[in-house]
Amino acid sequence: MFADSAKILIRSGAGGDGHVSFRRELYVPAGGPDGGDGGRGGDIIFEVEEGLNTLSAFRHLRKYLAKSGEAGGKKRCHGADADDLIIKVPEGTVIKEEETGKVVADMSGENRRQIVLKGGRGGWGNMHYATPTMQAPKYAQPGKAGLELSVILELKVIADVGLVGYPNVGKSTLLSRVTNARPKIANYHFTTLNPNLGVVDLGEGAGFVIADIPGLIEGASDGIGLGHQFLRHIERTKVLVHIVDAASTEGRNPIEDIEIINAELAAYNKELSERPWIIVANKIDAIYTEDEDPVEVIRNRFEPEGVKVFAISAVSGQGVKELLYHINEILKTMDNKTVVFEQEFFPELQIDKELPYTVQKINNDLYSVEGPRIERMLGYTNLDSEKGFDFFQKFLKINGILDELVALGIEDGDTVKIYGFEFDYYK
């Protein structure tokens, strides 16, 4: 089954905790601290897999969790680093943060492998905390928590040219004639439910990749029909070829069809309406009218705007060669690099500050503070140490949590419950 989008949860591994231990050997009366460091948590890495062309595997597995690093040991033993979790995707996969829709990574062009979430750093063992005034520290640093992100994977085909137009105008027929692609062709609307790619070979090293984008309809930019699934595949194309049924075999008006499709493209992504485009008046072998030539009507409407109109028959091949060479000439004037979407969302810089928390009054003298931001903070902090507890109090103050408790009416001696911990509040 073809699948061009999927929603998954990814989480990098937490770092292993540092270890608290002291050297105890015969004839070494004051060996000092020798607790080792924790290992690094596993990264989440996306990698392009040659031969993959769908995201169907992600329909069955929705969570990808890297393993945590191993805790440190005595005798300065470093905990083992966790293995990275590598997620294979087809070329052209765009990874977006679910809530904002911002691009996290685009697995296209030269970007074949990218670390999306880094694993947590391992905590330091107590051997790092010895000082002239504290020669037997009983504190080791907890491992840093991993990062978690809900992402949308979108597969956007990589092609130089996109064939667009209403269903049943001959896109698949043209693709099968000019390339080695063999799409299913039948006289039904939406017969093509996934993009078909083919390579046009013009000889002597000339050629380009062309994609048959499934039939668009009015309202596609609003998601009507399968609009969004179809439109996303046009975003990488450099030249758009609008195919219309010049013979109006189904009673459609070619000029109205072109204007509607143009409006849908602009509504979905304004940049699409600014790309070079060509009109192909197909099915000229089926024109039998004695009135005004429908191809000339199309030319009179669009060629004054600088849009070239080609009359062809995808069935017989008439006019196809001239069309292909014209497209190739346009592509020669353009950058031949793959369109790659720039990264907009940087997990390590944004995820912590965006994590929510809640401050609630449970009853007259009991309050609760919870949320992912608080839970992550506790993962960093050793509350049993003086230094760690001081950091904890500063965290509550800097993030405005103490102010929110005061606003809720907390008084001296009241209890604040934070996950598995309970604290007495005093100003």
**3-state secondary structure string, the chain?**
CCCCEEEEEEECCCCCCCCCCECCECCECCCCECCCCCCCCCCEEEEECCCCCCCHHHHCCCEEECCCCCCCCCCCCCCCCCCCEEEEECCCEEEEECCCCCEEEEECCCCCEEEEECCCCCCCCHHHHCCCCCCCCCCCCCCCCCCEEEEEEEECCCCCEEEECCCCCCHHHHHHHHCCCCCCCCCCCCCCCCCEEEEEEEECCEEEEEEECCCCCCCHHHCCCCHHHHHHHHCCCCEEEEEEECCCCCCCCHHHHHHHHHHHHHHHCHHHHHCCEEEEEECHHHCCCCCCCHHHHHHHHHHHHCCCEEECCCCCCCCHHHHHHHHHHHHHCCCCCCCCCCCCCCHHHHHHHHCCCEEEEEECCEEEEECHHHHHHHHHCCCCCHHHHHHHHHHHHHCCHHHHHHHCCCCCCCEEEECCEEEECCC
For residue 426, the model assigns a pLDDT of 82
The mean pLDDT values, 10 residues at a time, for the chain of 427 residues are 76 93 71 88 94 81 94 91 95 90 90 92 85 77 89 85 86 84 48 67 82 63 50 82 88 89 84 88 84 89 93 91 92 82 77 71 86 72 72 79 90 86 83
Residue in 168, 161, 223, 156 with CA at minimum distance from that of residue 194: 156
For residue 227, the model assigns a pLDDT of 45
Decide if 146 contacts 41 (C-beta within 8 A): yes
For residue 158, the model assigns a pLDDT of 76
Cα–Cα distance for residue pair 26/34, rounded to 1 Å? 15
For residue 28, the model assigns a pLDDT of 58
For residue 191, the model assigns a pLDDT of 44
For residue 194, the model assigns a pLDDT of 62
pTM, 2 dp: 0.64
Burial of 369 (0-12, 13-18, 19+ CB in 10 A): buried
With a CB cutoff of 8 Å and minimum separation 6, the contacts of 323 are 278, 280, 310, 312
With a CB cutoff of 8 Å and minimum separation 6, the contacts of 251 are none
With a CB cutoff of 8 Å and minimum separation 6, the contacts of 95 are 46, 103, 104, 105, 106, 107, 116, 151, 152, 153
For residue 220, the model assigns a pLDDT of 45
Count of residues for the chain?
A: 427
Cα–Cα distance for residue pair 81/101, rounded to 1 Å? 32
For residue 343, the model assigns a pLDDT of 85
- Count of CB atoms situated within 10 Å of the CB of 247: 19
Instruction: Report whether CATH 3.40.50.300 matches the domain 161-332.
Output: yes
Ranges of each domain in the chain:
1-155, 161-332, 354-424
Decide if 226 contacts 214 (C-beta within 8 A): yes
Angle ∠(62,79,372) on CA atoms, nearest 5: 45
Decide if 245 contacts 163 (C-beta within 8 A): no
Q: Name residue 149's beta-bridge partners.
A: 10
With a CB cutoff of 8 Å and minimum separation 6, the contacts of 388 are 139, 381, 382
At the fourth CATH level, which superfamily is domain 1-155?
A: GTP1/OBG domain (2.70.210.12)
As its CATH architecture, domain 354-424 has: 2-Layer Sandwich (3.30)
Between the alpha carbon of residue 138 and those of residues 127, 134, 165, 241, the distances in Å are 10, 10, 71, 71
Angle, in degrees to the nearest 10, between helices 171-178 and 320-332: 80
Q: Phi, psi at residue 184, to the nearest 5°?
A: -75, 130
For residue 134, the model assigns a pLDDT of 73
Cα–Cα distance for residue pair 124/72, rounded to 1 Å? 8
